[in-house]
Amino acid sequence: MIRPHGADALQPCIITNETERAALLAEAEFLPSMLLNSAAAANTVMLGAGYFSPLTGFMNLADILKVASDMQTSEGYFWPVPVANLTKDVSGIDVGRRIALRDPNVTGHPIMAVMQVESIEKISHQQLNFITEKIFGTLDNAHPGVATFRTLGQFCVAGDVQVFNFSYFQSEFPSTFKTAVEIREEIKALGWKKVVAFQTRNPMHRAHEELCRMAKERLEADGIIIHMLLGRLKEGDIPAPVRGSCIRKMADVYFPKNTVMVNGYGFDMLYAGPREALLHAVFRQNMGATHLIVGRDHAGVSDFYGPFDAQTIFDTLPENALEIEIFAADHTAYSKKLKRVVMMREAPDHLPEDYIILSGTKVRQMLSEGISLPPEFARPEVAEILMEHYRMQAKQTEVGT
């Protein structure tokens, strides 16, 4: 099986010993508290679940700046996006002490981790702009990732964490949320050697389905992991439970048994394009995948990135930065000529009118109006789940008005 990133074994920060956990949680109730923002809470989940191995906590300002500029930590690990705990308020927090990190996304703000505070540093306006531009490639607040990141706070609180729980992800998605440790164990149990991962924040239409099939066949892989993002998205994106139902239905009906694993991870989408594609590769390697599908506009938003920037950035990495490889995919669509889904670069004789392509806006409009999606675009079983979601949304809107 592929090695975890930067180490021979995963280093999840979750406390698994129940005696130790109970004692530390009792102590944490009397520690100074810090209410995390959603981004820091998501980072805490990823640290606890082993996806961010070999990291064991939040980066200090020097590491944040080095990762932003060089994609490398001070210890020499390749890392594409800073793992930061930013906040607007550091009152009651002291360097050298332990603090309780509280969950912003669960009622009552329960303690989700204990942190050993190693440093508290103020980020200057110039430093924040530098970090933002390196991660996202822009300072434009029209970019949802930029708009979020620039409002998280000017203080960086760094240190190792001991994690108690995975926020709401385990309770709300009990059959979908999996840690990197759990996925590795499942891969081992299935006997898979070559494993393809597919990142998604959307329900899968026919082109996505065929892309997974192409990657599996061309790489001669043993299986596919469809790995859903379960955290915060932008307004208008399909909720995770609906996406999960669509993906499971597609996998159950249209793929051979025991060739597809459907699960998810607790992280907030950054929409950071190339840098986020690299981060996706890091935690897919940590969960045991040997290959990651990187398609057109991977992790992008609007027109902030070139269509294949998320692929070409892998060509710039130092040798041995990552062991996982990518399956570089072109835009896929249903060919009316060939009567199947193709990668566009593999159909040079096709004109735009030879494809069935629907924009996200058009899809949402059709679904909200109760119009069935073409079977060439979406499997009928999937389209029905989506139409039901939009019907329920319409009813709730009517009740609300």
Q: What gap in Å lies between CA 65 and CA 131, rounded to an integer? A: 7
DSSP SS3 for 162: strand
Between helix 240-254 and helix 380-400 the angle, nearest 10°, is 160
Length of the chain: 401
Q: What is the CATH number of domain 174-400?
A: 3.40.50.620
- pLDDT at res. 398: 65
Max Cα distance, the chain (Å): 69
Domain boundaries, the chain: 18-170, 174-400
- How close are the terminal C-alpha atoms of the chain, in Å? 55
Average confidence (pLDDT) per 10 residues, the chain, 401 residues: 96 96 95 97 98 98 98 96 97 96 97 98 97 98 96 97 96 94 97 96 88 96 96 73 92 95 94 97 98 94 94 95 96 92 93 86 81 89 90 71 55
* pLDDT at residue 350, rounded to an integer: 95
Q: Are 227 and 196 in contact (CB under 8 A)?
A: no
Q: What is the DSSP string of 173-212?
A: -TTTB--HHHHHHHHHHHT-SSEEEEEESS---HHHHHHH
Supply the residues annotated as catalytic: 201-202
Overall fold of domain 18-170 = Sulfate adenylyltransferase (3.10.400)
Tokens coding 192 = 């898979």
**Phi, psi (degrees; rounded to nearest 5) at 357:** -130, 130
Amino acid 366: pLDDT? 85
Distance CA 383, CA 367 (A): 8
**Given this model, what pLDDT does residue 231 score?**
84
